[in-house]
Structure 1
Amino acid sequence: MKGIYDVAEWRNALRELRDHVRSVKGTDVEIYKRLKFSFDRLGDLKIQSCFLYCSLYPENYIISREELVEYWIDEEFLGTGSRQELYDRGHTILNRLENNSLLEKVDRDNVKMHDVMRDTALYIKSSGPRFMVKSGIGLKELPSKQEWGEDLEKVSIMMNNVLEIPPNLSPKCEVLSTLLLQNNKSLQSISESFFQHMHSLSILDISYTNIEQLPNSVSKLEKLKALVLHGCYNLRYVPSLEKLEALRKLDLYHTAIEKEPEGLEMLSNLTYLNLCIQSLKKLPVAILPRLFCLQCLVLYVKSSSVEMNGFDPARLTKLEIFQGRFTELIDFNAYTKSIQGQELTSYLLVMAQLKAKFKVNEVTTKFKLKCDGVRDSIVSGTGKNHSSRQRYDRIKSILC
């Protein structure tokens, strides 16, 4: 009710609140009912969904605003539009949740959900479609088969110590849409049968785990919209993505794959692609122009062997975020000329020979390129991170 000054509206709200708790018994339930009243007053289903999503994190966890907005984009809570428009909507919702005291502001970049508000959110989602949240509680194995109810909508087992997902666990979760397994750094294997009955799965995050291969059953998740494998440093095998035509986000940042996944060319709805992969032996230059919906494309700029020659990123007319390296000055000049007037919100461009060695990080605004037989070159600019999982620098000028 913050910012409401009309007396009639306050009287009406008081009547609604009294009706809410009139027949409730038990202190905890009464508290949750009263807090649910604030939740109901948000009035917008998408904003309510954004609030509930925060309960998937561990208790008292400091949550990156940018990471939250990324998840909300993946969940399509923010509708459609350019990536900048979606970011703006997301931050607007975060501000509203803070102003309504449903989230706590930690600093400019982070928020926190009070444990009482988190309990309230989990209370709201305690009946179907339900959340199952066991994040950050030190689990060494997944919940038993009995806990995987058929009415589960979202499951969060992030930030635990799970070692494996065994073959005898194949949950029948036909309505499950979101599964968060990230930051189980001891997780080494996922059985083929695990995803067998998750036909509605839309968001799958297995980032920062120790898996070496993704089970082939992932290829059958035809409703999958986001596959996030960020920081799976030992991951060497990703099955065919040919049937995943609904996929909008594919994050392979710092995996160990040597070749792009089979079927990548079929992902015409892809808006986000992170191929910042040191081990990648060849860039799929013939495939990338076919991904015409791309808004964000990240390539590995420090590669000493992979060239962008033959790839014209200017053909991706919806591109807003781009990170790439050019080895030929004519290609670099052509691209920088082609993007004049376009609304790229964030980009990192490197023009350097394959032998060149340099460092790139989010706080450095000058990059020194060193190469035998080539004079030192300076890349200067200023930058801003769009996400804790994305390292982008907005380059104002490049001097070679």
Structure 2
Amino acid sequence: MAEAVLLAVTKIGYALANESATVIINKLSEKVQALKELPRKMDLIRMKLTLMSDTIQEIGTVYLIDKPVKSWIGEVRKVAYHVEDVIDKYSYHILEIEEEGFLMKYFIKGTHYVKVFSDIADEVAMVEQDIQQVVLMKDQWLQHSQLVPDKLAMIERQRSQDGFPDFVKDEDLVGIEKNRKLLSGWLYSDELDSTVITVSGMGGLGKSTLVTNLYEREKVNFPVHAWIVVSQICPADALLRKLLWKIGNMVPPVPSEIDKMDVHDLKAEIKKKLQNRKCLIVLDDVWEQEVYFKIHDAFQNHQASRIIITTRKDHVGAIASLDHHLELEPLDGPDAFDLFCRRAFHNKKDHKCPKEFEEIAKSIVDRCHGLPLAIVTIGSLLSSRPRINIWNQTYNQLRSELSTNDHVRAILNLSYHDLSGGLRNCFLYCSLFPEDYPMSRESLVRLWVAEGFVLSKEKNTPEEVAEGNLMELIHRNMLEVVDYDELGRVSTCKMHDIMRDLALSVAKEEKFGSANDYEAIIQVDPHVRRLSLCRWKVNTSLKVKFPRLRSLVAHGMISSTPDLLSSILSESKHLTALELQDSNITEVPTFIGNLFNLRYIGLRRTNVKSLPESIEKLFNLHTLDIKQTQIEKLPRGIVKVKKLRHLLADRFADEKQSDFRYFIGVESPKGLSNLEELQTLETVQVSKDLAEQLKKLMQLRSIWIDNVSASDCENLFATLSTMPLLSSLLISARDVNETLCLQALDPISTKLHRLIVRGQWASGTLKYPIFRNHGEHLKYLALSWCQLGEDPLGVLAPHVPNLTYLSLNRVNSASTLVLSAGCFPHLKTLVLKRMPDVKQMEIGDGALPRIEGLYIVSLTQLDKVPQGIELLLSLKRLWLLYLHDEFKTLWQTSGMHQKMQHVPEIRI
């Protein structure tokens, strides 16, 4: 392609004017030569940056006392970011030429491309100079005598040595008694073989504190005992030497014969020491499973040895069986407050909090979100500051206090520094969202892909790789799961506030991004790469420029003027992701098409009514999310955006239709088949040629179709049935009277797990292939406005045995619903809504064994308490809303409230 560009540039010169062709070509010759060198130079630049990155890794972290070194690292980042911008610009214009057929149109746009590529060549020359400069700086600044690690690195290293955690007195421990008894029970179980016990959780939860207390109490009952702190990189022979030294009660220096032993000899010697002796061994802060598996055979004996492993990684915790794995949780409110008072008021009787400090103390404790490390740190800090005004001041700057505290940061930094570069980017990106914000798995994945944090690997798409990254962060306890979907995948997650504070601090230092209050925007570095304006309220006109901006995340931004957004976008030529979900914006700037690098546009739940035609110029766009906006029709040029992978579009139905149709899809654009990379299409209205267009979209995973009539069913469903990757399907009828026939829906995809159908069905529905041949693959089924037979639950149960989610809304049925013993063995959520014929329910013993949420809403004729509902022991949420007028009374008089005390949430 580069040769084609050069040929085109040459022809441009002749096209400009025959009489001056020679002069023009001579002037262009240097630029042409520079263009020839661009690909090679860019590869060379990447290689040089990789070498510099390796140098930074060798230094350790960015947290070094030596200021010149930190400055040098900052200069490397600036060059790396500049290279990223130049490469994106170059790649875009190459693609633009391909799309426009440049060799056919050089007479019209030739001069434009000459200038574009000449500018790129000039920028590459500048980058080369910058790299030469930072190389010179490295030679001048990175001298061995100047590489002095900071206190954080020292703390991290100290924790990796043979030191034993400080023993904490029983009276200083809070909220651990239950877990201590559980661990103690595992220590003294009747198992004769050696047993592994694991304790996992995020850094700062008190894993080592808990196990230390247990170890000190119980080690006297084990003739051989040893505590070993495991570093992140610790060879097997080094661990075995530590163990042999400790169980042999040796004193420094280590005997020379031990130093000469290899792994085999060390294990043999340890086995001798442990023979016929009961032992207790603690491996503290283990990072990888291999650490244990490389040495575990040294513990094999028949004297009931016990090995306790503490870890912040779930996959290490999985070394133990489920019934010997303890996952620590943050402290609850009362325990957290008690722990804080024990530290803040350690010199007062019973550690009682003075009345005048109660309000601010509770606020401080709430801000720590149950993390013992943060609670103890702030409590100890405030114990020497007994003035209420200082406490208020500390609370106001609590984020800074925690993120800069050496001990807190050192512990949390261990988790961060253990991440690969791609995972670090994904982790830091999460800090751009507000505190406690439930982050959608799908949105995060699409944003990470847009940013280029993940690439495809072998047969896995970038989205699948990104999902793997998300799970890795969760397994490392750096993100918390909020909810799961029907496949058991993470649906939403969030970041612990203390972990977010760390991420924000690192993001600022590494010039990765910034989350700012409105008042602080003028202080933001104008070269910031990612900016969060979430939940802003802007009442005044403010013009700012961020020429290097890659991401703008502005969830819930409220602005009375569009000037701020337009000002930011107009100068952010390299913008990659624009997330404005829940903001009150009403229009998208027409110049958005000039943002050549834009890969993600999120406008969900905004007041936008239309998209500008210029969107057709966004050749790199991957995701367009305009769900629940007021957009009825897509721009005609949307089909030119051939890299589009996720198109999410619908709007709420008006009040007259809302009873049947919750939302309305957008019109299906002409030429939809051009979008061959499309994976998600939600939601489009049926068009005459939709079935034909879909035949070319074989990458589709999720498709939602609205306004379907009976005459559309055969062709449409036949096409959908041939899609090999289809996993989610929604079919919504044109209106309540339209009867759908699913006879032709016989999917070849075994991945189709979610089916949503809205509308009347033809008779004999459950004899159709979607249930007869595919029912066992379905996990999520939502049916509304249809007739399934006398008892829809009884009729459905045999056909869809693996459902985890079932919703029935406006389904005609018999007056009695029966859930027989053993039915729906995997169902976790059951929703029964607006079923006017239902008067009673019967739940057999053994039905719904895994049910967690039961929502019975607007069954106005239900005048009896569901028989057997007290047998649902796994239930966590029970809603019984808008039922028969007498239902509440019946519930109380039947004594059911007492029988259902095992359910945490009941709404009646």
Shorter chain as denominator, the TM-score bin is 0.7 to 0.9
2:554 aligned with 1:181: yes
Q: Deviations over 1:165-221 (max 9, x none)?
A: x3x4131x222111011212x335422433121011000011222222112232211
Offset at residue 79 of structure 1 (A): 1.7
- What is the rounded CA distance, in whole Å, between the counterparts of 2:806 and 2:547 in structure 1? 43
- What is the rounded CA distance, in whole Å, between the counterparts of 1:82 and 1:36 in structure 2? 32
2:523 aligned with 1:147: yes
What residue is the counterpart of 2:643 in the other structure? Answer: 269
Q: 1:60 to 1:265 in 2, by over 3 A?
A: closer
2:701 is matched by which residue type in structure 1? E
- Contact 1:60–1:115 (CA<8 Å) still a contact in 2? yes
Count of equivalent residues = 354
Q: 1:69 to 1:150 in 2, by over 3 A?
A: same
2:695 to 289, 314, 325: 314
Question: Which 5+ residue runs of structure 2 have no aligned equivalent?
Answer: 1-159, 161-199, 201-229, 240-283, 286-402, 485-490, 654-663, 741-753, 782-804, 808-908
1:161 to 534, 537, 552: 537
Offset at residue 74 of structure 1 (A): 3.2
- Contact 2:665–2:683 (CA<8 Å) still a contact in 1? no
- Contact 1:64–1:111 (CA<8 Å) still a contact in 2? yes
2:556 is matched by which residue type in structure 1? N
Aligned pairs for 1:205-216 (under 5 A) are 205-216=579-590
Aligned residue for 1:126, secondary structure, equals: helix
Offset at residue 96 of structure 1 (A): 2.3
Q: 1:228 to 1:163 in 2, by over 3 A?
A: farther
Q: Identity over the aligned pairs, expressed in percent?
A: 22
Aligned residue for 1:276, secondary structure, equals: strand
What residue is the counterpart of 1:367 in the other structure? Answer: 758
1:190 is matched by which residue type in structure 2? P
- What is the rounded CA distance, in whole Å, between the counterparts of 2:554 and 2:620 in structure 1? 21
Q: Deviations over 1:271-322 (max 9, x none)?
A: 1112324688972442311212111111255xxxxx4222232221211110
- What is the rounded CA distance, in whole Å, between the counterparts of 1:355 and 1:189 in structure 2? 45
2:731 is matched by which residue type in structure 1? L
2:688 is matched by which residue type in structure 1? N
What residue is the counterpart of 1:243 in the other structure? Answer: 617
2:644 is matched by which residue type in structure 1? L
- Contact 2:733–2:759 (CA<8 Å) still a contact in 1? no
Q: Deviations over 1:339-393 (max 9, x none)?
A: 33612011112354697599xxxx99663449xxx99x999986659xxxxxxx9
The alignment's TM-score, normalised by the length of structure 2, stands at: 0.35
2:630 to 256, 263, 278: 256
Offset at residue 6 of structure 1 (A): 7.9
1:343 to 725, 730, 744: 725
Aligned residue for 1:125, secondary structure, equals: helix
- Contact 1:277–1:300 (CA<8 Å) still a contact in 2? no
What residue is the counterpart of 1:323 in the other structure? Answer: 704
- What is the rounded CA distance, in whole Å, between the counterparts of 2:737 and 2:462 in structure 1? 39
Aligned residue for 2:569, secondary structure, equals: coil
Q: Deviations over 1:61-91 (max 9, x none)?
A: 3434444334323333332379985554344
Q: Deviations over 1:46-65 (max 9, x none)?
A: 11111111111223434344
What residue is the counterpart of 1:97 in the other structure? Answer: 473
Aligned pairs for 1:78-93 (under 5 A) are 78-80=454-456, 85-86=461-462, 88-93=464-469
1:36 to 404, 410, 413: 413
- Contact 1:231–1:254 (CA<8 Å) still a contact in 2? yes
Aligned pairs for 1:36-55 (under 5 A) are 36-42=413-419, 44-55=420-431
Q: 1:50 to 1:119 in 2, by over 3 A?
A: same
- Contact 2:623–2:645 (CA<8 Å) still a contact in 1? yes
- What is the rounded CA distance, in whole Å, between the counterparts of 2:617 and 2:519 in structure 1? 28
Aligned residue for 2:544, secondary structure, equals: coil
- What is the rounded CA distance, in whole Å, between the counterparts of 1:82 and 1:239 in structure 2? 36
- What is the rounded CA distance, in whole Å, between the counterparts of 2:530 and 2:437 in structure 1? 18
Aligned pairs for 1:285-324 (under 5 A) are 285-300=669-684, 307-311=686-690, 312=692, 313-324=694-705
Q: 1:100 to 1:56 in 2, by over 3 A?
A: same
The alignment's TM-score, normalised by the length of structure 1, stands at: 0.73
Q: 1:285 to 1:383 in 2, by over 3 A?
A: farther
Aligned pairs for 1:87-126 (under 5 A) are 88-108=464-484, 109-126=491-508
2:439 aligned with 1:58: no
2:235 aligned with 1:8: yes
- Contact 1:327–1:354 (CA<8 Å) still a contact in 2? no
Q: Deviations over 1:11-53 (max 9, x none)?
A: 7999xxxxxxxxxxx96145324432321222x2111111111
- What is the rounded CA distance, in whole Å, between the counterparts of 2:444 and 2:620 in structure 1? 22
2:591 is matched by which residue type in structure 1? S
- Structure with the higher fraction of residues in helix conformation: 2
1:227 to 590, 601, 620: 601
1:152 is matched by which residue type in structure 2? V
Offset at residue 116 of structure 1 (A): 2.4
> Which structure has more RCO (C-alpha within 8 Å, separation ≥ 6)?
1
Question: Which 5+ residue runs of structure 1 have no aligned equivalent?
Answer: 15-25, 302-306, 386-392, 396-400
Offset at residue 335 of structure 1 (A): 3.0
- Contact 1:181–1:206 (CA<8 Å) still a contact in 2? yes
Aligned pairs for 1:119-134 (under 5 A) are 119-134=501-516
Moved more, 287-296 or 119-128: 119-128
1:346 is matched by which residue type in structure 2? S
2:475 is matched by which residue type in structure 1? N
